[in-house]
Amino acid sequence: MSTEEPGRKGVGGNSAYTTNPTLFLRINAGDPGPREIAWEEFRQCYAPMIAGFARNLGAPPQDVDDLIQDVLLGFFALSPRFVYDPARGRFRGYLKVCTFRALRTRLGQNARFKALPLGDIDPESLEVEQVWNDIWEQELLRRALEEVRKCYADPITFRAFELYVILGRPAEDVARELSLNVNSVYKAKERVTQSLRKKLEALVEQQG
């Protein structure tokens, strides 16, 4: 089974998910070209978190896109004055509060979380924090899997990992289906898991 181990392209370099301080600087760039690219990157990075959080807090499907726009436009208006300072807290916490407030403003008493109107809920509560963290981690895992999948020249390696680890198929069945020996399935798990761990660590650092 031949594999091409994923490199760490972008970790500390030219990543699809740029570190927050760099991204924020480019959002406020004087040149409209780089600024538009930065805003598109910002949307790609954070819109899925906003959408997942909104759905879990009771936003109707037809309102999710509008809510994403509310949050992004609100941040766009603030961005010239926004200074990213990790010492004052992680960006993910700031974005959670922005999203919660946008939800409350757009939906009012129509949005409920655990049968309570959003107006009666503290966005800093443990329950809300848990929902946000779960969405954030699921999205980072999805991105990491997508990035790692693209890095393998031999798709059989990732497919073996996917069938054995993600779908929980017995190693013997995976080996038979992919015309591999069982040891190759175990090696695929080890290699892809190591690559996935590195990619996740990089994304956690980059996403704030």
**In the chain, what is the straight-line distance between the N-terminal and C-terminal CA atoms, in Å?**
37
With beta carbons less than 8 A apart as the criterion, state whether 192 and 1 touch: no
Considering only 5-9, 71-75, 138-142, which range has the smallest mean pLDDT? 5-9
**Token pair of 78 as six digits:** 């603030």
pLDDT, greater one: 86 or 121: 121
Per 3-state DSSP, what percentage of the chain is helix, strand, and coil (rounded to 5)?
A: 75, 0, 25
105: nearest Cα among 141, 156, 161, 66: 66
CB within 8 A of 81, min separation 6: which ones?
none
155-207 residue pLDDT tens:
899 999 999 999 999 999 999 999 999 999 999 999 999 999 999 888 877 76
CB-based contacts of 35: which residues, under 8 Å, 6+ apart?
26, 27, 28, 29
Q: Read off the pLDDT of each residue in 37-61 and give the average, rounded to a whole number.
A: 84
Task: Work out the burial of residue 74: count CB atoms within 10 Å of its CB; fewer than 13 is exposed, 13-18 middle, 19 or more buried.
Answer: middle
Q: What is the pTM of this model?
A: 0.69
Residue 86: pLDDT band by 50, 70, 90 thresholds? low
Contact (Cβ atoms closer than 8 angstroms) between residue 35 and residue 28: yes
103-159: per-residue pLDDT in tens? 888 887 677 777 788 878 888 889 889 999 999 999 999 989 999 998 887 889 999
Q: Tell me, what's the pLDDT at 25?
A: 54
